[in-house]
């Protein structure tokens, strides 16, 4: 026996779910023909290699925080909530030019989420799936009641505008989701990890511009991500045939197609909808998965109640995936 006082723990929800989603993109559309005027490339070359037709670039005075505020506010409204109903904000990103102060606290205040627990996550293109996993666990542990997760990136700040290997791929935008309690699981367990031995595959060169070894990343993603997606399904007690919508990180349309092909070989249905948001949005890193989901729901290709399999992967190399029920 001891006279020491016992610590008391909060009681959370038995399960969590996505309550609402939202996204935003800059107005400035940049086509492949636009890029061909400033670098040695063509529309045909870009479409063939990465599948991108156009992307959005933010103006110089449009900041990452600005886009995060818009996407986050839309997700809160979509959930039918007031900002005061949210108590935690998580902001996955890898392009905030100044790490102090973090983006999350600024965004929370501007949206109207006062006195929020607020922090950024840098898992690059896997960031949204990392953030969603943390949000789900916070709700189930009782540490938070409702969590706003916003993947936001302004990649044009960190990409050499005349670097053909990268400038044709990356773009700007933000996507968000509100996570809250549920009686039945709406967010499955996360399958996550890293391959730190491949740290040189994608990194910030001279603390200014992103560099990536494209072929190495392509080979890794087309062989490793499908098994990770399968593990996420197994953790959630699902089969590939249960998946209605597949949303891999929108890194490269050829990678997306390769992941889908491997899942089809493992039993995914022929009518499984596969995200191809990269065609008109480019690679927006941590924003790509929630932005694709929002666009697909708006288009009617992802519907409320659908089983959605999401898997992100990027610099680190980091990866994460989980199954969710579409709100």
Q: How far is CA 41 from CA 18, 47, 218, in A?
A: 41, 11, 20
Angstrom distance (rounded) from CA 179 to CA 48: 38
- Residues in the chain, how many? 327
Q: Is 295 a catalytic residue?
A: no
Q: Which residue has the tokens 């992967």?
A: 313
Q: Is 249 a catalytic residue?
A: yes
Q: Within 13 Å, how many C-alpha atoms sit on residue 292's CB side?
A: 32
Angstrom distance (rounded) from CA 111 to CA 83: 7
Selected catalytic residue, list 93, 249, 252, 295: 249
Which secondary-structure segment (H or E) carries 291? helix 288-299
Q: Which residues pair with 152 in a beta bridge?
A: 174
Q: What is the DSSP string of 95-149?
A: --S--SS-HHHHHHHHHT-TT-EEEEE--GGGHHHHHHHHHHHHHHHTS-S-EEE
Q: How far is CA 64 from CA 22, 39, 70, 286, in A?
A: 15, 26, 10, 12
Helices 127-141, 288-299: crossing angle, 10 deg rounding: 80
Selected catalytic residue, list 93, 283, 295, 326: 283
Selected catalytic residue, list 125, 129, 191, 326: 125
Q: Is 264 a catalytic residue?
A: no
Cα distance from N-terminal residue to C-terminal residue, the chain: 49
Q: How far is CA 276 from CA 99, 194, 246, 256, 298, in A?
A: 31, 25, 10, 8, 14
Residue numbers annotated as active site: 125, 249, 283
């Amino acid at each position: 026996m001891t006279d020491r006082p016992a610590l008391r723990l909060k009681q959370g929800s038995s399960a969590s779910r996505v309550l609402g989603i939202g996204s935003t993109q800059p107005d400035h559309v940049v086509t492949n023909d636009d890029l061909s005027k400033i670098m040695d490339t063509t529309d045909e070359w870009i479409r063939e290699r990465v599948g991108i037709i156009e992307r959005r670039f933010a103006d110089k005075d449009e900041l990452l925080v600005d886009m995060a505020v818009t996407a986050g506010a839309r997700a809160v409204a979509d959930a039918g909530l007031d900002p005061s109903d949210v108590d935690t904000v998580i902001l996955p990103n890898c392009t905030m030019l100044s790490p102090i102060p973090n983006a999350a606290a600024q965004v929370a205040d501007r949206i109207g989420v006062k006195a929020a627990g607020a922090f950024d996550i840098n898992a690059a293109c896997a960031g949204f799936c990392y953030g969603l996993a943390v949000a789900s666990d916070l709700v189930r542990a009782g540490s938070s009641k409702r969590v706003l997760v916003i993947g936001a990136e302004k990649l044009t700040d960190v990409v050499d505008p005349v670097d053909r290997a990268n400038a044709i791929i990356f773009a700007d935008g933000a996507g968000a989701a509100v996570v809250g309690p549920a009686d039945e699981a709406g967010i499955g367990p996360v399958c996550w990890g890293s391959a730190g031995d491949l740290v040189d595959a994608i990194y910030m060169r001279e603390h200014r511009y992103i560099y990536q070894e494209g072929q190495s990343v392509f080979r890794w993603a087309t062989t490793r991500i499908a098994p990770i997606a399968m593990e996420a399904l197994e953790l959630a007690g699902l089969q590939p045939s249960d998946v209605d919508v597949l949303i891999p990180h929108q890194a490269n349309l050829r990678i997306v197609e390769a992941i889908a092909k491997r899942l089809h070989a493992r039993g995914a249905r022929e009518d499984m909808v596969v995200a191809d948001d990269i065609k008109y949005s480019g690679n927006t890193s941590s924003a790509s998965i929630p932005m694709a989901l929002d666009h697909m729901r708006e288009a009617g290709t992802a519907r409320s109640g659908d089983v959605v399999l999401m898997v992100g992967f990027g610099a680190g190399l980091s990866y994460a995936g989980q199954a969710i029920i579409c709100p």
